[in-house]
């Protein structure tokens, strides 16, 4: 099983189209997205159409939650619900907070932050106290049926393995990064058979391989 992973989109319809085309060539079986579709410099209606056409599994990000409540609309490049197509509004309203995808090793949890908390930050250098007090992460670690978590929010690509001990499988956390043009846009591919995460960079009209990280859920 090869899963395409898209992080925070922020209305980048052109880069999203580039990523989706590349994933088709990379022969992914399903595509997952961590949300934050709105509030960006591209076309949000076009973004949502692309996601629907590609049958992408999408969850709600904090920006998607904010726009529904008309909150935080003074942030740069903010959208308003009154500016959106009817189909886009319906799509945003139907986004779940999180969802599960069955994988050979157990369950993959797709979310925006960590679990049901779309504001929870987890980055590569989160250690010690930051881990022990992260109740959202700890709740996942106490559920050994969840072997993968794909989350976003930080815009920083990451692959981390959290041990559970006691012979239980570890939790592998993958953050695909973001498509935001002002940062380092890219996407990832989780190859469960080869046990690796492939990172791809988007630049102009070019897609290039950036890195490969081996994973092991044994």
Structure tokens that stand for 202 in this block:
């988007």
Angle subtended by helix axes 13-25 and 44-53, to nearest 10? 20
Q: Residue 165's pLDDT is what?
A: 86
- For residue 26, the model assigns a pLDDT of 96
To the nearest whole number, what is the mean pLDDT of the chain?
Answer: 96
| Residue 46 near residue 13, CB atoms below 8 Å | yes
* Regions in the chain scoring below 70 on pLDDT: 217-218
Is the CATH code 3.60.21.10 the one for domain 2-214?
yes
Question: Angle at which helices 44-53 and 86-93 pack, to 10 degrees?
Answer: 60
Domain boundaries, the chain: 2-214
* Ramachandran class of 83: left when φ > 0, alpha when ψ lies in -120 to 50, beta otherwise: alpha
Task: Write the pLDDT tens digit of every residue in 183-217.
Answer: 999 999 999 999 999 999 999 889 999 999 999 76
Measured between alpha carbons, how far is residue 211 from residues 65, 103, 188, 218 in Å?
32, 23, 9, 22
Confidence (pLDDT) at 198: 97
Mapped onto helix, strand or coil, the DSSP state of residue 193 is: coil
DSSP 114: B
Reported as a single tens digit per residue, the pLDDT across 154-175 is 999 999 999 998 889 999 999 9
CA dihedral 150, 36, 94, 79 (to 10 degrees): 180
CB 46 within 8 A of CB 15: no
- Spatial CB neighbours of 191, under 8 Å, sequence gap ≥ 6: 1, 2, 197, 198
Residue 11 backbone zone (phi > 0: left; psi -120 to 50: alpha; other: beta): left
């Amino acid at each position: 099983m090869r899963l395409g992973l898209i992080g925070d989109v922020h209305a980048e319809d052109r880069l999203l189209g580039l990523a989706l085309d590349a994933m088709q060539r990379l022969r992914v079986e399903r595509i997952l997205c961590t949300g934050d579709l709105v509030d960006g410099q591209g076309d949000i209606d076009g973004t949502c159409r692309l996601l629907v056409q590609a049958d992408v599994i999408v969850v709600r990000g904090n920006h998607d939650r904010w726009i529904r409540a008309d909150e935080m609309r003074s942030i740069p490049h903010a959208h308003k619900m009154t500016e959106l197509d009817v189909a886009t509004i319906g799509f945003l309203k139907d986004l779940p907070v999180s969802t599960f995808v069955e994988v050979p090793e157990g369950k993959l949890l797709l979310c925006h932050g960590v679990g049901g908390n779309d504001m929870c930050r987890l980055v590569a250098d989160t250690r010690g106290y930051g881990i022990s007090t992260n109740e959202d992460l700890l709740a996942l670690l106490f559920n050994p049926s969840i072997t993968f978590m794909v989350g976003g929010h930080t815009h920083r690509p990451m692959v981390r393995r959290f041990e559970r001990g006691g012979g239980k499988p570890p939790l592998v956390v993958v953050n695909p990064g973001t498509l935001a043009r002002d940062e380092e846009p890219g996407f990832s591919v989780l190859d469960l058979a080869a046990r690796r995460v492939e990172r791809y960079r988007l630049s102009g009209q070019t897609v290039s391989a950036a890195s490969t990280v081996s994973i092991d859920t044994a």
